[in-house]
Chains A and B, each alone.
Chain A
Amino acid sequence: MKIMIQFVIDYISYIFKGGLRFYAWMGFLALFLLPWAYGNYMQFTQGMIVTGLSDQVSWGLYLANFVFLVGVAAGAVTIVFPAYVYKYEPLHKVAVLGEMLAIAAVIMCILFVFSHMGRPDRLWHMVPLLGIYNFPNSMLTWDTMVLIGYFLLNLVCGFYYLYQKYTGRPLNNNFYLPLIFISIVWALSIHTVTAFLINTMPARPMWHHGMMPIRFISTAFAAGPSLIIVIFLIIRKNTALWIEDKAINMLSTIVVGCLSIGLFLTLSEVVTELYHPTEHSDGLRYLMFGKHGLSNLVPWFWGSLVAMLVGWVLLLIPRVRKNYTVLPYICVLIFLGIWVEKGMGLLIPGSIPTPIGEFTQYSPTMIEIMNCLGNWAIGFLILTVLLKGAIGIVLGDVKYTKTQ
């Protein structure tokens, strides 16, 4: 117990030991908190009327970010899987960083769920025993369950690993490895269930197809490692932790492979829907070409497609893939492309036209944007803190010493 308290103290005090750049970064993120607080205050007091949402488009930016971030959380498994299943050493060493990313991403997901709820004060109604948990009927209860489960798995695995590293004791593999393997499968489940959340609704023909889960997973396994590559390169540059080229190369290979599948599935959908466009294709056609003179989403769709295609083609070339000056920019391009594809490219056109055929437009309000940026900033603050602590322990900077 004493050791555990010592762990917490050492961990926290290490986090606050940072240079100017660290504090500048944290300060920059903290800048978003003020508008975030204002936006949340407005939304809580005035209601969701301060958003750009309507009865026609009642799911918007918040849920789009939620869906995307579930993917990012699941994407963390692209480190854990090669590290533990293939015993790929370069990634094995830094696998814990993936778990930290998963924790931060799930927290962001929860923040976005809070933002999306009309009555966040009543969320206790969902707590089993206290309220009613409509399991197994409601897909949302499945999603809640797998997300909380994934969060706990990563929390336990990640901090157990760090704690053992901190105390210098060996890992108990009988305890640790089963959890790791469960968390790998579990990662797939969170994005699968999130896909089920929206594709089990015949009311929304654009979503109502069986390709959704695999498309979610393939794009998530491109967006997730893209973010991780960027983070790794930043860590390499700014900390003593040297992440091997092999680790990064492995991740960029995963990105290009999964992105290939994702693009292929997009192509399949477009051909299937557009060869003989039925009324069920109206959402996709609105997205791609606009309908009845309404075309807010058209540039986003094509922009996202171009971003993904350019990123994919560039990553196919080994010389480019291994050029670490260019690589982070390509990764950001892919990350943003997939973010747009999940939001403006999937969530919003799912509501347009409405189930009774009304075409509308949706654009988020300033408050919505402020809340989203704030949620992301909080997520990155948490991620930075988690990564910094983890790196300290992995490097051996934070270590249990009896003299303390």
Chain B
Amino acid sequence: MKKLQISAVVLLLLTGAPAAFSQETTECFESRKGASEVTQKEVSPGLPNVKCSPRTGGVLWWGDPYDGTQPMGEMPIEADYSHGEAVVKPRESKLKLMALCGVACHNGVFPPVPKDKNPRALNMHKDVVPDSLNLQHGRGGIWCLDCHHTTTRNKLVDNFGNEISFNQPQKLCGKCHGQIYRGWREGMHGKRIGEWASDGKKRWFVCTECHNPHDVQQGDRNSGFAQLRPERAPILPKGIYNTDHEGHHGSSDHQDDEAAKH
């Protein structure tokens, strides 16, 4: 630790400025754009919390994998984390309406609690669900209140009507997606960062950090994830000046030979 401090002092004396990466504050996203944003900062001298892709704004590298996390807390079923250390990044701070929704709008009395769970057109929350009659989750089989608590709107709901924190969406999603939930607990589904040892300290990414629960149907995009802008392609090797030769994919040898002749 001493070494770090001394070298930091030397660096400061020398350059009179902190290291280069802290020159501007950058916001980038961890896994799901729009729902896992993180602000770049220095966690210790010379070490940023994250490095971001200048092209896509995605996080490329974590200086401190546990920055801003808290212990995962109680889980309904014993899983691997029981002998390792599991931390998660709280989700509630990412939700814009969270602070207000339980008091300002849905105070338990007003607006009136819906009588049933039949789908209906909604005028509110169109930023989250543009067309409530065409919810991109469950193919018409589920409705807002299957997941959101009927009266306590800043909570999710389990099968018994009990509240689930937005920080632990896995408890909710696991209601239907049991197989995936099990895979996630065992470390096969989803993403973890930190230490590789099975009993090491890991930050677990929870369901909604990667998936948008209001838009998970695969559709044209061929994936349960939102489509992303990819990082830049590798530079072309010497002797190749365009990617025309890759346009022949799926083409038959016959066409190939024809093309070669031209």
Taking the complex as a whole, does A directly touch B, i.e. does some CB pair lie under 8 Å apart? yes
Taking a contact as CB atoms under 8 Å apart, the answer to whether B260 and A54 are in contact is no
Complex formed: what's the CA distance from A361 to B245 in Å?
11
Q: Give chain A interface residues in 336-374, CB to chain B under 8 Å.
A: 358-363
Stretch from B24-32, B219-227, B232-240 that touches the partner: B232-240
- The reply to whether the CB of B121 lies closer than 8 angstroms to some CB of chain A is no
Given A289-B257, A289-B260, decide whether A294 and B245 contact each other with a Cβ distance below 8 A: yes
Taking a contact as CB atoms under 8 Å apart, the answer to whether B246 and A54 are in contact is no
Complex formed: what's the CA distance from A295 to B261 in Å?
9
Taking a contact as CB atoms under 8 Å apart, the answer to whether B245 and A293 are in contact is yes
Contacts of B78 in A (CB 8 A): none
Taking a contact as CB atoms under 8 Å apart, the answer to whether B259 and A55 are in contact is no
Contacts of A361 in B (CB 8 A): 239-240
Given A291-B256, A292-B259, A295-B260, decide whether A52 and B239 contact each other with a Cβ distance below 8 A: yes
Contacts of A293 in B (CB 8 A): 244-245, 248, 259-260, 262
**CB of B114 to closest CB in A, whole Å:** 56
What 0/1 pattern do residues 298 to 319 of A give for CB contact below 8 A with B? 1000000000000000000000
**CB of B183 to closest CB in A, whole Å:** 29
Taking a contact as CB atoms under 8 Å apart, the answer to whether B260 and A53 are in contact is no
Chain B residue, CB-CB nearest to A291: B256
Taking a contact as CB atoms under 8 Å apart, the answer to whether A53 and B259 are in contact is no
**CB of B236 to closest CB in A, whole Å:** 9
Chain A residue, CB-CB nearest to B251: A292
Q: Identify which of B237, B238, B239, B256 contacts A292 (C-beta below 8 A).
A: B256
**CB of A205 to closest CB in B, whole Å:** 17
What 0/1 pattern do residues 119 to 135 of A give for CB contact below 8 A with B? 00000000000000000
Contacts of A53 in B (CB 8 A): 238
Classify the secondary structure of A's interface with B. Answer: loop
Taking a contact as CB atoms under 8 Å apart, the answer to whether A55 and B244 are in contact is no
Contacts of A52 in B (CB 8 A): 238-239
Complex formed: what's the CA distance from A358 to B248 in Å?
12
Classify the secondary structure of B's interface with A. Answer: helix
Contacts of B245 in A (CB 8 A): 291-294, 359
- The reply to whether the CB of A290 lies closer than 8 angstroms to some CB of chain B is yes
- The reply to whether the CB of A56 lies closer than 8 angstroms to some CB of chain B is yes
Complex formed: what's the CA distance from A294 to B246 in Å?
10
Taking a contact as CB atoms under 8 Å apart, the answer to whether A55 and B239 are in contact is no
Which interface class (under 10, 10 to 19, 20 to 34, 35 or more) fits A?
Answer: 20 to 34
Chain A residue, CB-CB nearest to B248: A292
Complex formed: what's the CA distance from A369 to B239 in Å?
16
Contacts of B237 in A (CB 8 A): 54-57, 358, 360
Contacts of A289 in B (CB 8 A): 257, 260
Taking a contact as CB atoms under 8 Å apart, the answer to whether A298 and B260 are in contact is yes
Contacts of B240 in A (CB 8 A): 360-361
Chain A residue, CB-CB nearest to B238: A54
Chain B residue, CB-CB nearest to A295: B260
Complex formed: what's the CA distance from A55 to B238 in Å?
9
Contacts of A362 in B (CB 8 A): 238-239
Contacts of B238 in A (CB 8 A): 52-54, 362
Taking a contact as CB atoms under 8 Å apart, the answer to whether B239 and A360 are in contact is yes
Complex formed: what's the CA distance from A289 to B253 in Å?
11
Complex formed: what's the CA distance from A277 to B254 in Å?
13
Complex formed: what's the CA distance from A358 to B244 in Å?
13
Complex formed: what's the CA distance from A293 to B237 in Å?
16
Complex formed: what's the CA distance from A293 to B257 in Å?
8
Complex formed: what's the CA distance from A358 to B239 in Å?
13
Interface centre among B238, B240, B256 (most CB of A within 10 A): B238
Contacts of B259 in A (CB 8 A): 292-293
Taking a contact as CB atoms under 8 Å apart, the answer to whether B260 and A290 are in contact is yes
What 0/1 pattern do residues 260 to 300 of A give for CB contact below 8 A with B? 00000000000000000100000000000111111110100
Complex formed: what's the CA distance from A361 to B260 in Å?
14
Contacts of A360 in B (CB 8 A): 237, 239-240
Complex formed: what's the CA distance from A176 to B237 in Å?
53
Chain B residue, CB-CB nearest to A298: B260
Taking a contact as CB atoms under 8 Å apart, the answer to whether B239 and A363 are in contact is yes
**CB of B239 to closest CB in A, whole Å:** 4
Q: Give chain A interface residues in 245-270, CB to chain B under 8 Å.
A: none
**CB of B142 to closest CB in A, whole Å:** 43
Chain B residue, CB-CB nearest to A56: B237
**CB of A334 to closest CB in B, whole Å:** 28
Given A289-B260, A292-B256, A293-B259, decide whether A54 and B248 contact each other with a Cβ distance below 8 A: no
Contacts of B246 in A (CB 8 A): 292
Complex formed: what's the CA distance from A235 to B259 in Å?
50
Contacts of B257 in A (CB 8 A): 289
Complex formed: what's the CA distance from A295 to B245 in Å?
11
Complex formed: what's the CA distance from A363 to B259 in Å?
21
Contacts of A358 in B (CB 8 A): 237
Q: Give chain A interface residues in 44-69, CB to chain B under 8 Å.
A: 52-57
Complex formed: what's the CA distance from A363 to B257 in Å?
22
Contacts of B262 in A (CB 8 A): 293
- The 3 A-B residue pairs with the shortest CB-CB distance in the complex, in nearest-first order: A290-B260, A361-B239, A292-B245
| 19 A–B contacts from the bound complex (CB under 8 Å) | A52-B238, A54-B237, A56-B237, A277-B253, A289-B257, A291-B256, A291-B260, A292-B246, A292-B248, A292-B260, A293-B244, A293-B245, A296-B239, A358-B237, A359-B245, A360-B237, A360-B240, A361-B239, A362-B239
Inter-chain pairs besides A56-B237, A293-B245, 12 sampled, C-beta below 8 Å? A52-B239, A289-B257, A290-B260, A291-B256, A292-B248, A292-B259, A293-B248, A293-B259, A293-B262, A295-B260, A360-B237, A360-B239
